[in-house]
Amino acid sequence: MLYNETEAMYVLGAVLKEPELILSNKYNLTKEDFKPSKFHSILFSIINNLSIKGIRDIEPIDIGNLCSPYKAQMEVLEDNNYIDFVETIKSIAKEKNFIYYYNNLRKFTVLRYYKNEGFPIEKIYDETLDDDSQMEKLNGLSVEDIITYFGDIQSKIKKEFVGNGTQEEIQAGVGFEETKERFKETPYYGANLQSLYQTSLYRGWCRGHLILRSAPSGFGKTILGVADLCMVCAKEYWDIEKEKWVVNKNRQGAGLFINTEMDLMTELTPMFIAWIANVSRSDIADGVYHIGEEERVDYAIKVLQESEIYLVDDPKFTISSLESTLRDYAENKNILYAIMDYLQDNGIVGKEMKKTHEIVARDTIILNLAENLKVIARELNIGIMTSTQLNGNEKTADIIDEACLSGGKAIKNKIDAGCIIMFPRKKELQLTENFGVKRGFHGMKPNIVSHSFKIRFGKYGTNIKIFQYADLGTGRITDLYVVNVFNEPINVEIPIFEEDL
């Protein structure tokens, strides 16, 4: 039987003593976890309702009072002598062991799900064999391992019978006349990025493309990614120059942010609000506002709620989980753009890759992640942006390029456009200090430089540097000037779109 009553009892005992466990975002207990036992399922539902009502140490009398109007459920409780049962499991349950029993309970829930969907589960848990031997095997697996196992089965079936979903065949040149004429009317550009210089260099953020933005640790990669997602998804934003709310004409549709490190509500969501309202996230987090800011934040919350931006927390991501999430939101939420916070070896994705690779180095993991994101972007026709850390070469390198990437030089071949963000170096500022004055930015000085090392469809060459001012409180960026690898100014045309005419 795909249910362990003893472990379920320990979980129920723990939540009776500490109902906050049910309300915690760390755990995802549901009635489904106790479904094989009608008694346990009813008892959990009552505990859940009592915890929502604020009771913090649940006694049999609380359970009886809540359930007494429901005769059928009360009869089940009484048939199972719920008063003695509750007192017993509360006395034996230890909160410090909760995670162990919770994880085992969830493993059975996952296995029941896959069994009900028609998947063969015998290699994970064979119900025809004795429970002890199967539990020993199950104890060596996590919920993530089980999901990855069945995800791999699906991937193999897809490769065998469907292919990779991206293969396309045409005879070169046939039908291009129409495309050529269409380019005259609408040049090949994707959506605007925050930086119009980068928009020009990359031909915008095109669907099907993978853009990489890398930087040293703690440099603001996440908030800059949030800002670019807002740029293509937010319905409105506060215009600094006009000092009013304006419709975002660059909006393309729904978007997705896959988070790996931050709390979605208290840390990540304020970044979106900050960009839309142009109010520093530190002010939002402090709850202290300057004149007019709180009203803008309140309105920005409504804008964000209507902008179809979805946040997913996946700290234990694998290649399979990323593909599953992106596919789900592309097919069911119609997202057009997505941010994967940043590529890293989280320990889980490496374990997944070792099933098919004898040796898995850290750089190989990051390279494979990038390669798979590019394939997914093309297959789903969505624009994806992500980032990486740097490997330390940036501290001494004259030219900031792919040699500085965590993940190795080869990652350059997997992306459509890529840049590395750094603080301006003293030599760069000395050679370019007058360029900003000539552009008339009223003394605004650059605090970041975007070194563009990969520009697949550009016409200005590579290793182009954009000097910018970044407000890391809001994520908003102001372009100042552009130079080549020799710190000589170059003229990059800012694209003019129909709505600007």
Distance CA 209, CA 190 (A): 9
Would 151 be classed as within a structural domain?
A: yes
Boundary residue ending a domain (416, 450, 482): 416
pLDDT digits (tens, 9 = 90+) for 300-348: 999 999 999 999 999 888 888 899 999 999 999 999 999 999 888 777 7
> In the predicted model, what is the mean pLDDT of the chain?
86
Distance CA 285, CA 332 (A): 33
To the question of pTM greater than 0.85 for the whole model, the response is: no
Total domains, the chain: 2
Whether 26 and 151 share a structural domain: yes
State both tokens at 155: 């991937």
Q: Yes or no: say if 400 and 422 are a contact pair by the CB < 8 Å rule.
A: yes
Distance CA 106, CA 11 (A): 11
SS (H, E, C) 357-426: CCCCCHHHHHHHHHHHHHHHHHHHCCEEEECCCECCHHHCCCCCCHHHECCCHHHHHHCCEEEEEECCCH
Whether 194 and 90 share a structural domain: no
278 phi/psi in degrees, rounded to 5: 55, 50
Would 86 be classed as within a structural domain?
A: yes
CATH number of the domain enclosing 77:
1.10.860
Whether 337 and 204 share a structural domain: yes
CATH number of the domain enclosing 382:
3.40.50.300
State both tokens at 375: 């394939």
Whether 268 and 336 share a structural domain: yes
Would 364 be classed as within a structural domain?
A: yes
Q: Which residues of 217-228 are buried (b: 16+ CB within 10 A; e: fewer)?
A: eebbbbbbbbbb
DSSP-assigned letter for residue 294 = H
Identity of the amino acid at 4? N
Dmax of the chain from CA atoms? Answer: 85
Would 464 be classed as within a structural domain?
A: no
Distance CA 103, CA 356 (A): 27
Pick from 160, 178, 225: which is nearest to 383 by CA? 225
346 phi/psi in degrees, rounded to 5: -90, 5
Would 471 be classed as within a structural domain?
A: no
- Is residue 356 pLDDT above 60, yes or no? no
Would 432 be classed as within a structural domain?
A: no
Q: Yes or no: say if 262 and 268 are a contact pair by the CB < 8 Å rule.
A: yes
Give me the mean pLDDT over the 478-485 stretch. 91
Whether 214 and 324 share a structural domain: yes
pLDDT digits (tens, 9 = 90+) for 403-454: 999 877 888 989 999 999 999 998 888 887 777 654 545 567 899 999 999 9
Q: What pLDDT, on the 0 to 100 scale, is given for residue 500?
A: 46
Would 499 be classed as within a structural domain?
A: no
Whether 141 and 287 share a structural domain: no
Q: Which residues of 444-455 are buried (b: 16+ CB within 10 A; e: fewer)?
A: eebebbbbbbbb
Using the structure block, give the residue that is written with the tokens 């026709």: 381
Domain ranges, residue 95: 5-158
Residue 230, H or E segment = helix 221-233
Whether 379 and 234 share a structural domain: yes
Distance CA 244, CA 213 (A): 30
Distance CA 198, CA 467 (A): 11
Identity of the amino acid at 5? E
State both tokens at 91: 């006395």
Beta bridge pairs of residue 390: 405
Whether 97 and 235 share a structural domain: no
Whether 243 and 315 share a structural domain: yes
State both tokens at 130: 């004795």
Boundary residue ending a domain (369, 388, 416): 416
Residue 236, H or E segment = strand 236-239
Whether 194 and 276 share a structural domain: yes
Identity of the amino acid at 98? F
Distance CA 403, CA 391 (A): 8
With a CB cutoff of 8 Å and minimum separation 6, the contacts of 25 are none
Would 196 be classed as within a structural domain?
A: yes
Boundary residue ending a domain (135, 158, 181): 158
pLDDT digits (tens, 9 = 90+) for 52-97: 888 888 999 999 999 989 899 999 999 999 999 999 999 988 877 8
Whether 239 and 317 share a structural domain: yes
State both tokens at 472: 């890391």
Whether 281 and 388 share a structural domain: yes
Confidence of residue 251 (pLDDT cuts 50, 70, 90): very high
